[in-house]
Amino acid sequence: MADAQAGDAVTRLGPILLFSAFVVATCGLVYELLAGTLASYLLGDSVTQFSTVIGTYLFAMGMGAWLSRGVKRNELAVFIRVEILIAAIGGGSAALLFLLFDRVGDFRLPLYGMVLLIGTLVGLEVPLLMRLLKDRLEFGDLVSKVLTFDYIGALAASLLFPLVLVPYLGLIRTGFLFGLANVAVALGLLLMLPKGAQLRGELAAGVVVAAALVAGLFGAERLQTLAEVAAYQAPVIYADSTPYQRIVLTKAGGDLRLYLNGNLQFSSRDEYRYHEALVHPALGRVARPARVLVLGGGDGLALREVLKHPGVDAITLVDLDPAMTRLFSRSAMLTPLNQGALTDRRVRVVNADAFVWLRANRGQFDAIVVDFPDPTSFSVGKLYTLSLYRELARAIAPGGIAVVQSTSPLVAPRAYWTVAATLEAAGLVTRGYHANVPSFGEWGFILAAHGPIGDAVRLPPGLHFLDAPTLAAMSVFPPDMARRPVEVNRLDNQVLVRAFDAEWSRIEG
Amino acid sequence: MRSFDLSRRGVIGSAAALAACGPTGGMPGSLGGADMARGHLLRDAFGDAVPAETRRTGIAILGGGIAGLAAAWTLAEAGYRDFRLLELEDRSGGNARSGRNAITAYPLGAHYLPIPNVEAVGVRHLLDRLGVITGWQGSTPVFDPYQLVGDPDERLLRLGRWQEGLVPTLALAKTDHDQIERFFAAMASFRDARGSDGRPAFAIPMALSSRDPTLLALDGQSWTAWLDRHGYTSAELRAHIRYVCRDEYGTEPGDVSAWTGIHYFAGRRGDAVGDGDAVLTWPGGTGHLAEAMAARVAGHVDTGHVVGRVRRRGDGVSIDALDAIRRRRVRIEADAAIIAMPRFVAAHVVEGWEGSADGFSYAPWIVANVSVDRLPGGPGAALAWDNVSATSNSLGYVVATHQGLASVGGASVLTWYLPLSEMAPARARALMQARPLADWQRIVHDDLMAMNPDLDGAISRIDVWRWGHAMVRPVPGFMWGQARQAAARFAPPLFAAHSDLSGISIFEEAHYRGTLAAEAAMREAGFAHHSLLAA
Ligand SMILES: Cc1cc2nc3c(=O)[nH]c(=O)nc-3n(C[C@H](O)[C@H](O)[C@H](O)COP(=O)(O)OP(=O)(O)OC[C@H]3O[C@@H](n4cnc5c(N)ncnc54)[C@H](O)[C@@H]3O)c2cc1C
């Protein structure tokens, strides 16, 4: 395209160019707000996220402005290309970042990469616009007009974003919508170009981007779930946020998985290994496990194993979340897994906080199965303290036994042996063992009783994992899992949470 | 006779300044405080009118804060039955009272008690009787783990990130780091030091501290002057010291003596099996202990009794009070009186004590209890019991439900503290009275938001409590000067007992003063007893 022709075109395009300053400013700020909001959603700490995103964005805009000097001719064509690029990248940014969040090691990398890229492109816009308009307006007028539209656009964005866009459209669709505005500017300019000056390639690209954005706008609903699915590696078939936790079930092939707050609880492929290992070494050591207590385990899978023992008269199951126990007593998809254990007439379900319940409890039990979530926070960490184990010791009947799931002795040996040392500090005799559960890794358990814990275990028939030789092997701790000196975990030092966090972050990065 | 039949509403309701205000500016809450108008009633209002009723008792305890309750407890422990405790407010506990809502109990003032020193014999006895001490290993107490503050106990927001502990540790310049180390080493040697008389340099109760003149000389200079002289210039260190000073004394480091400044760091040698530096806390703060003490002596307590005049009569004491509940004047004839009211009140109502509060000044405090429907978080260290921001002028907040056992956090109450230490106390008290609830709420809200933007939308209620005379101020020269020492001296049949007399407003001091006074009164009455202060 000859420069003369282009100059001509620019003259005719004056008003629409000024209008595009407004659109461009609105879109630019929206992308910045999108990135900031997303970062604080996904990374937490809104103040830090917002200020670093905004800082990076402004810096990138400066780079863009500086780079604009490199554009020596063809400003209009460059401007149109920039618009199409911003439409594609900025418009798709929210969707892309959501999808990437759980797939990349460090989410900040794509986040700030994206912010830099969009910022640079947006930084190019206004200088280019000014140069396009410089011959139509005298300098003072030019600066004042462009900046006015720019600031009005910024105002519009900052009002629309929190009041209308986020509540009504959500982040992903907001992105697509403003991408469309950018591409509309590009297409508008392209269509108004004189016949001889047409830019076919740009036109085609603009149309493709616009079509993709429209598709995204309407398909966003699916994308939203896609983002959650991405986090779980398998289709989400059930999701519920209760006052206590987020319950998510996924299913791929024959594999049903339960996640609580994003942490895997079981995979139907190998949960039998976990639950057989959790329950039978304890119950098989009691002469007659008539009264059984299960703490945690609202999925009913441990219950299923407990019920395999003859002589069980009454089981009390204490789980925090009524939504969990309801789901696993009623759902036709889940009851086959626990074989309806939660509705067995011998089972009494109590929905209460285990510590509070145990402290008030005056009853005694022949066997107690303690299946709490891992000590990932100080509030859950309380369930592994000396104070809780003292209450636990009171609840173990003479001749009775307890078993505690106690994280992986391979990944977190300090954490594992802290549980043992703490149970011992409560006056109990302990005996550790471990089992391989493929979806978890090498997993650890600790038996605790008032007196010595022998080797003899009576296993009920029909188990898939445990037999005598396996049981014997489970008691062997090779050097990499061997006992080490640790402190007792107390309410006022919470050493377990600290050890657990340090050891697991070593492998999870 | 002009009736003294002041209506409960007139005297108490409005005075209580409790005036439960409805939602202001949309935020529900209330504005409360120590009952100033009941306090102001005092002597003038009593005149010479004839009392409607005259009662007799052996020992009258006037004021039911920790000191008064400790005195009552001590008498009860000794088997001395003939005593009454008169308390102006509707509930005993004084500055250690707590509040309660649907979520939890929470402190209105005092929130914790450090593990007591060996020499705090009386407090250890109390904690043993209340089951806070569950047993002894030899002569070392074992504390109930449920009452020791749970981990994590403290965190500090600095440079946009929460760190564990209140002493800055992250990204310190070398000079800051070195000065902090040097400072704490110096304080540790003060802690272990003994004076020429063989007593600990700094003890709790403070009365048991060494009288070594070189140590007492520290009382003559300001804390700031001492810090300057010893080259403690690091802004990070000074910010921490200022925080501690305001937290403990409600007063700026420039306004307290070096002796008191050091006392905070050097006075504690907590004695326990396990961690002696730990503290004890309860959802309602030390109000928990006040309530337990009050329960032990319940039959002896007359709340809603405003003591207006105390006179010596023959060998005994005559006390005029307003029974605000039955709306009439009562006179109590007693053999002896334990004056457990703050000094500025006592000086006003005890005949012959006019002017005896000269030299006593008081720090005003604001305490806000903020109901939240979810717990705060933030970048870095996880939520702790005590949460402080290095950039805020408030002292941050403690979490009332921290000691709870629930493994999933939900609604809670955050108790937020602000000593009005930056202006003269009288001006601050005037401001405190003038500022409406909505303004206080906005201040509290904005401060919390700056610390925890994640609380946006989570605050459902802000209740503001004003303490006009929250704590005695240990200004230079006060601890070891004439005024305090003279005020603390017993003048049978009057026995002064209040934390004011220690110059340091903490539970142990109030408790010590009450116990000491009760035992002196029993001695005077010739009542044989075993001392709770004897090791
Ligand atoms: C905001 C705040 C936070 C604090 N935090 C802590 C803490 O964490 N740990 C700690 O150890 N200490 C703390 N303290 C200090 C502690 O609360 C006090 O040292 C202690 O409670 C004082 O007890 P007291 O009996 O000496 O005095 P007060 O509590 O002042 O008791 C005096 C009593 O006398 C009554 N009275 C007054 N006038 C009359 C009258 N005319 N007739 C009848 N009765 C009258 C009052 O109503 C009151 O009940 C804090 C104080 C405040 C204000």
3-state helix, strand, coil in chain B (%, to 5): 35, 25, 40
CB-CB contact of A219 with A89 (8 Å): no
Residue identifier of the C-alpha nearest atom 52 of ligand 1? B109
* Nearest Cα residue to A434 out of A405, A391, A397: A405
- pLDDT score recorded for residue B12: 31
Q: What is the pLDDT of residues B143-158, one digit of tens each?
A: 999 999 999 999 999 9
Interface test with A, best of B407, B408, B412, B454 (most A CBs within 10 A): B407
Alpha carbons B380 and B154: distance in angstroms, whole number: 13
- pLDDT score recorded for residue B292: 97
Whether B192 has a pLDDT exceeding 50, the answer reads yes
Alpha carbons B12 and B7: distance in angstroms, whole number: 8
Alpha carbons A28 and A5: distance in angstroms, whole number: 30
Distance to chain B for A68, nearest Cα, Å: 36
CB-CB contact of A368 with A293 (8 Å): yes
**Long-range contacts: A110-115, Cβ < 8 Å, 24+?**
A111/A35, A111/A38, A111/A39, A111/A53, A112/A52, A112/A53, A112/A56, A114/A35, A114/A89, A115/A32, A115/A35, A115/A53, A115/A56, A115/A57, A115/A60
**Angle at A258 (CA atoms; ends A254, A262), nearest 5 degrees:** 130
Q: Are strands B154-158 and B386-389 parallel, antiparallel or unpaired?
A: parallel
CB-CB contact of A307 with A276 (8 Å): no
> How far, in Å, are A316, A340, A348, A349, B393 from residue A280 at the CA level?
17, 19, 20, 21, 58
Q: Which of ligand 1's atoms lies nearest the C-alpha of B41?
A: 41
The CATH number of B38-90+304-360+475-525 is 3.50.50.60
Radius of gyration over every alpha carbon of chain B, rounded to an integer in angstroms: 23
Q: What is the pLDDT of residues B353-385, one digit of tens each?
A: 987 899 999 999 999 999 999 999 999 999 999
Put simply, the answer to whether A492 touches B379 (Cβ < 8 Å) is no
> Left (φ > 0), alpha (ψ -120 to 50) or beta: where does B357 sit?
alpha
Is A371 one of the annotated active-site residues of the chain?
yes
Q: What is the mean pLDDT of residues B523-532?
A: 96
**Least confident window among A401-405, A501-505, B39-43, B313-317:** B39-43
Alpha carbons B199 and B213: distance in angstroms, whole number: 13
Give B339 Cα–ligand 1 centroid separation in angstroms: 13
Whether A223 has a pLDDT exceeding 80, the answer reads no
* Nearest Cα residue to B370 out of B445, B284, B481: B445
Which residues, in sequence order, are CB contacts of B130 under 8 Å at separation 6+? B289, B292
What DSSP assignment string belongs to A25-90?
Answer: HHHHHHHHHHHHHHHHHHH--HHHHHHHHHHHHHHHHHHHHHHGGG--S-HHHHHHHHHHHHHHHH
Q: In what side-by-side order are the strands of the sheet with A236-241?
A: A236-241, A246-252, A255-260, A263-267
Asked if B408 is an interface residue toward chain A (Cβ–Cβ < 8 A), one would say yes
Give A474 Cα–ligand 1 centroid separation in angstroms: 60
Residue A158 confidence class, pLDDT cut points 50, 70, 90 = confident
CB-CB contact of A407 with A375 (8 Å): yes
**Smallest Cβ distance to A494: which of B151, B406, B407?**
B151
> What residues does B466 pair with on adjacent strands?
B33, B366
- pLDDT score recorded for residue B382: 95
Residue A351 confidence class, pLDDT cut points 50, 70, 90 = very high
Q: What is the mean pLDDT of residues A473-486?
A: 96
Whether B498 has a pLDDT exceeding 50, the answer reads yes
Q: What percent of chain B has pLDDT over 90?
A: 87
Whether A91 has a pLDDT exceeding 70, the answer reads yes
Give B473 Cα–ligand 1 centroid separation in angstroms: 13
Helix (H, G, I), strand (E, B) or coil at A401: strand
> How far, in Å, are B114, B346, B464, B499, B520 from residue B65 at the CA level?
19, 14, 21, 9, 19
Alpha carbons A271 and A440: distance in angstroms, whole number: 10
- pLDDT score recorded for residue B19: 37
CB-CB contact of B236 with B176 (8 Å): yes
Helix (H) or strand (E) holding B58: strand B53-62
- pLDDT score recorded for residue A72: 84
Put simply, the answer to whether B146 touches A320 (Cβ < 8 Å) is no
* pLDDT averaged over every residue in chain A: 88
CB-CB contact of B86 with B302 (8 Å): yes
- pLDDT score recorded for residue B24: 40
Dihedral sign (CA B57, B62, B65, B66)? negative
Q: What is the pLDDT of residues B203-242, one digit of tens each?
A: 999 999 999 999 999 999 999 999 999 999 999 999 999 9
Give B176 Cα–ligand 1 centroid separation in angstroms: 37
Put simply, the answer to whether B405 touches A382 (Cβ < 8 Å) is yes
* Nearest Cα residue to B77 out of B334, B300, B316, B287: B300
**Smallest Cβ distance to B408: which of A320, A490, A493?**
A320
Which is catalytic among the residues A299, A366, A371, A374?
Answer: A371
Residue B35 confidence class, pLDDT cut points 50, 70, 90 = low
- pLDDT score recorded for residue B43: 47
Alpha carbons A207 and A214: distance in angstroms, whole number: 11
Give B255 Cα–ligand 1 centroid separation in angstroms: 21
Q: What is the mean pLDDT of residues A323-339?
A: 88
Residue identifier of the C-alpha nearest atom 53 of ligand 1? B470
- pLDDT score recorded for residue A60: 94
Q: What is the pLDDT of residues B76-96, one digit of tens each?
A: 999 999 999 999 999 999 999
Helix (H, G, I), strand (E, B) or coil at B279: strand
If 0-12 CB within 10 Å is exposed, 13-18 middle and 19+ buried, where does residue B50 land?
exposed
Residue A237 confidence class, pLDDT cut points 50, 70, 90 = low
**Least confident window among A97-106, A431-440, B67-76:** A97-106
Q: What is the mean pLDDT of residues B290-305?
A: 96
Helix (H) or strand (E) holding A239: strand A236-241
Q: Which amino acid is at A150?
A: D
Q: Are strands B83-86 and B53-62 parallel, antiparallel or unpaired?
A: parallel
Q: What is the mean pLDDT of residues A224-248?
A: 69
Give B134 Cα–ligand 1 centroid separation in angstroms: 27
Put simply, the answer to whether A245 touches B406 (Cβ < 8 Å) is no
Q: What is the mean pLDDT of residues A42-49?
A: 64
Q: What percent of chain A has pLDDT over 90?
A: 57
Q: What is the pLDDT of residues A255-277, one digit of tens each?
A: 889 998 788 899 999 999 999 99
- The more confident residue out of B382 and A15 is B382
Which residues, in sequence order, are CB contacts of B415 under 8 Å at separation 6+? B106, B107, B111, B285, B367, B368, B369, B370, B397, B398, B400
User: Which among A127-141, B317-331, B401-415, B440-454 has the top mean pLDDT?
Assistant: B440-454
- pLDDT score recorded for residue A134: 82
Residue A235 confidence class, pLDDT cut points 50, 70, 90 = low
Q: Which amino acid is at A100?
A: L
Whether A293 has a pLDDT exceeding 50, the answer reads yes
CB-CB contact of A432 with A440 (8 Å): no
Helix (H, G, I), strand (E, B) or coil at A447: strand
CB-CB contact of B383 with B375 (8 Å): yes
Q: What is the pLDDT of residues B118-128, one digit of tens each?
A: 999 999 999 99
Q: Are strands A263-267 and A255-260 parallel, antiparallel or unpaired?
A: antiparallel
**Least confident window among A21-35, A369-383, B322-336:** A21-35
Whether B272 has a pLDDT exceeding 80, the answer reads yes
**Ligand 1: does its nearest atom lie under 6 Å from the Cβ of B366?**
no
CATH 1.10.405.10 domain position(s) in chain B: 113-148+154-277
Whether B10 has a pLDDT exceeding 50, the answer reads no
Residue identifier of the C-alpha nearest atom 1 of ligand 1? B109
Which residues, in sequence order, are CB contacts of B481 under 8 Å at separation 6+? B219, B359
Q: Which of ligand 1's atoms lies nearest the C-alpha of B345?
A: 38
Asked if B453 is an interface residue toward chain A (Cβ–Cβ < 8 A), one would say yes
- pLDDT score recorded for residue A278: 98
Residues of chain A found within 8 Å of residue B148, distances taken between Cβ atoms: 491-492
Whether B298 has a pLDDT exceeding 90, the answer reads yes
- pLDDT score recorded for residue A1: 42
**Ligand 1: does its nearest atom lie under 6 Å from the Cβ of B269?**
no
CB-CB contact of A265 with A259 (8 Å): yes
Residues of chain B found within 8 Å of residue A243, distances taken between Cβ atoms: 408, 410
Which residues, in sequence order, are CB contacts of A341 under 8 Å at separation 6+? A300, A301, A303, A304, A306, A307, A347
- pLDDT score recorded for residue B21: 38
Residue B36 confidence class, pLDDT cut points 50, 70, 90 = low
CB-CB contact of B159 with B379 (8 Å): no
- pLDDT score recorded for residue B42: 57
Residue B249 confidence class, pLDDT cut points 50, 70, 90 = very high
CB-CB contact of B117 with B271 (8 Å): yes
Residues of chain B found within 8 Å of residue A45, distances taken between Cβ atoms: 378-379, 453-454
Whether A55 has a pLDDT exceeding 60, the answer reads yes
The count of residues in chain A is 509
* Nearest Cα residue to A431 out of A416, A448, A417: A448
Q: What is the pLDDT of residues A375-405, one digit of tens each?
A: 988 989 999 999 999 999 999 999 999 999 9
CATH 3.50.50.60 domain position(s) in chain B: 38-90+304-360+475-525
Asked if B406 is an interface residue toward chain A (Cβ–Cβ < 8 A), one would say yes
What tokens were used for A351? Answer: 């929905």
> How far, in Å, are A382, B212, B521 from residue A247 at the CA level?
22, 66, 65
Residue A217 confidence class, pLDDT cut points 50, 70, 90 = confident
Q: What is the mean pLDDT of residues A441-463?
A: 96
CB-CB contact of A191 with A151 (8 Å): no
Interface test with A, best of B405, B448, B452 (most A CBs within 10 A): B405
- The more confident residue out of A122 and A142 is A122
Which residues, in sequence order, are CB contacts of A404 under 8 Å at separation 6+? A370, A419, A423, A445, A446, A448
Q: Is B113-148+154-277 in CATH node 1.20.58.1690?
A: no
What tokens were used for B64? Answer: 């039911």
3-state secondary structure B27-51: ECCCEEECCHHHHHHHHHHHCCCCC
Whether B295 has a pLDDT exceeding 50, the answer reads yes
3-state secondary structure B326-356: CCEEEEEEEEEEEECCCHHHHHHHECCCCCC
Helix (H, G, I), strand (E, B) or coil at A365: strand
Chain A residues with at least one Cβ partner in B under 8 Å: 44-48, 243-245, 320, 353-356, 359, 372, 377-380, 382-383, 385-387, 490-494
- pLDDT score recorded for residue B22: 37
> How far, in Å, are B157, B170, B212 from residue B380 at the CA level?
9, 11, 46
Q: Which amino acid is at B191?
A: R
Q: Which of ligand 1's atoms lies nearest the C-alpha of B514?
A: 25
**Ligand 1: does its nearest atom lie under 6 Å from the Cβ of B340?**
yes
CB-CB contact of A239 with A227 (8 Å): no
Residue A339 confidence class, pLDDT cut points 50, 70, 90 = very high
**Ligand 1: does its nearest atom lie under 6 Å from the Cβ of B89?**
yes
